[in-house]
Copies of this chain bind each other. A is one copy, B any other.
């Protein structure tokens, strides 16, 4: 077992916890023993993983191979929590046709009680158990063949207080859901991004090539289950899916403050060299949309994880005093498809 720490910077006041809130095991329709989920999380540098086997789609039980109740997969996984130092969260996936579609409930006490005929009763039970619930992969083509749609049932569930978060991206259903992104902004939902992994993560993500699992970065006061829950309840999350980092603007700005470091500045009256470094595992796609007309510098650059780059700036006229390099980080989405405007002062 080799743990590869993920390099995601903390922000002032909060630790950046790397979490996956949506995983399956052989105890529903997955293909690995629950222990593997915790080992994968350890190796990939995660802080927490939720075991969220389907309540309904238990194909391995239907086939007569598995037996046991709905709490079993979590119980097996939980045994590895301490020695591997990966927080394990008890969850479940309520898996109905659309509407309401698939929903995850986290921080459950007894998953068996969710196994009821009507989904309305399952939701009531999640409330009784004070679970955190969110809508999974609203853009799944089986539920939304070409457009991600918000239906009346979703309004009802939202109004009744059952929708705490929503998946903006999901690893199993490829793609990013701009509609869900906008709803999360409009309705103050917690941004969620997870793997929904059924097989092994190693077969799904090519870690050697720099790929990472889809995950939710939780900004928590402390690295505990309570810390995660508090952060989820207070919407302090960012989704990391493929090259995209998606979150509320204030969080993304704080994150970028810790990510882009000005390592060195050399400056004369006619030009400057500003050395910046990417202190994270995010790749930054940077593009200039506007700029101080006196400054001549890059139009577009990419800054890979850990990469350091010397930015050359030429002054049209000799300049003194503070100067600003304006640019946009294209893949830090503050709203659907829109990057984060940022600048470096030197």
Contacts and interface: CB of A to CB of B under 8 A. Distances in A.
Interface of A: 1-4, 26-27, 30-33, 35-36, 39-40, 43, 60, 64-68, 72, 76, 83, 139, 141-142, 144-146, 174-175, 199-200, 202-203, 206-210, 242, 264, 275, 288, 291, 296-302, 304-309, 314
Count of identical protomers in the assembly: 4
Contact of A3 (B1, B139, B306): B306
B288 A146 contact: yes
B139 A43 contact: no
A202 B202 contact: yes
A83 B277 CA distance: 13
Contact of A174 (B2, B60, B66, B301): B301
Contacts of A305: 2
Contacts of A174: 298, 300-302
B36 A33 contact: no
A1 B146 contact: no
A4 B174 CA distance: 23
A36 B200 contact: yes
A325 B146 CA distance: 13
Contact of A296 (B142, B199, B210, B291): B142
Interface of A is mostly: loop
A206 B1 CA distance: 10
Nearest to A4: B306
B67 A64 contact: yes
A295 B50 CA distance: 34
Contact of A68 (B64, B199, B288): B64
Contacts of A307: 1-2
A68 B61 CA distance: 11
A308 to B, nearest CB: 5
Contacts of A26: 26, 33
Contact of A146 (B30, B175, B203, B299): B299
B208 A1 contact: no
Contact of A139 (B36, B144, B299): B299
Given A31-B36, A141-B298, 19 more contacts: A2-B206, A2-B306, A26-B33, A32-B32, A32-B200, A36-B203, A64-B67, A64-B68, A65-B67, A65-B68, A66-B66, A139-B299, A141-B296, A141-B297, A145-B291, A145-B299, A146-B288, A200-B202, A207-B208
6 contacts: A26-B26, A32-B33, A66-B67, A146-B299, A202-B202, A210-B210
Contacts of A64: 67-68
Given A68-B64, A300-B174, A2 B33 contact: no
